Amino acid sequence: MIALCPGRLMAYTTNSMPELPEVETIRTAIEPLIIGQRLTGLELRDPSILRGDAAAVYSTIADAAVHSVQRRGKHLLILLEGDRTIVIHLRMTGALLLEEPADPRRVRAVLHFSNETRLYFNDMRRLGTIAIEDTGSCCRRLGPEPLSDEFTPHRLIQCLASHRIPVKAALLDQYIVAGVGNMYADEALYAVQIHPLTPANELTANQVKSLWHSIREVLRRAIACQGASIATYALPNGQRGTAHDLFKVAHRMGAPCPRCGTPIQRVMVRKRGACFCPACQRTEKGEHRDGA
């Protein structure tokens, strides 16, 4: 089947796309519901969401069984028999829901499975995408997963040493490390007291090692809280994650730094906002502190 149809919260600033913890939370929620089931329908309420010709794409995946549900960086991967993978990128405001939302106008696509499970791709800003790719080649160009054994302190040291761009921009480069986005990069840099504008290649080896630990700790903590519901992100059952309750600087511009009380500031780093404490995360050379 294929159908083509036309308080503290006050301190949060801007939307944030689902990052690694949010996509991982979605993955673990939907995997037991669709594993082993067959894809019986791809309903496109907004055809622009699909990369490629709709009829041709669907003919390659119709009635295929789901082998597994994986995540690569910020991408959700539904692996099908026949070595085909549905690659879902939620972008800024996408969400996968198990029930149709109250405002169905924001539903861009619906995936139907043989056990009558339905996944509603809800997207307010209409930026998310669905693509069908060969399983062996999808997302191969992305950098290492930050919670994997492949992502080592030495590898991060090597990567950052070869870039003069601000460290915040380097952390957002999905070819350096996959899955870290705006808010978790802010949290990781704050934890080790590194200013987001610090050139990546000026960090000491000790600073990078501390940053490596911080990245992994921030992401693990966020996964345990089922992600951060800043704006539109929700779990597939409609509930909200709580990782944002632990944020120290991300989305908290103007709020007091929990460490020193200085108001959190926001600076643009290559067209992306970065929240930081100007007292704890200094910019002058020689005054970057390794952190605990």
Grouped pLDDT means (10 residues each) for the chain, 292 residues: 36 65 97 97 93 82 95 97 94 93 93 97 92 87 96 96 96 96 97 98 97 98 95 90 96 96 96 95 57 32
pTM as predicted: 0.90
Domain with 234 in it: 153-276
* 163 and 245 share one domain: yes
Q: What letter would DSSP give residue 68? A: E
271 classed as catalytic: no
Q: Could you say which of 27, 45, 74, 252 is catalytic?
A: 74
pLDDT of residue 284: 57
285 classed as catalytic: no
Total structural domains within the chain: 2
pLDDT of residue 15: 53
144 classed as catalytic: no
Q: What letter would DSSP give residue 168? A: H
Q: Could you say which of 221, 259, 272, 282 is catalytic?
A: 272
Taking a C-beta distance cutoff of 8 angstroms, is the pair 193, 258 a contact?
no
Residue 147 domain flag? no
Residue 24 domain flag? yes
* 75 and 177 share one domain: no
* 129 and 46 share one domain: yes
Residue 253 domain flag? yes
* Structure confidence by residue, pLDDT tens digits, 121-136: 999 888 999 999 998 8
32 classed as catalytic: no
Task: Tell me the HSE value of 287 on the side-chain side, using a 13 A CA sphere.
Answer: 9
Helices and strands counted in the chain (H then E): 6, 12
pLDDT of residue 70: 97
* 122 and 186 share one domain: no
pLDDT of residue 58: 83
pLDDT of residue 197: 97
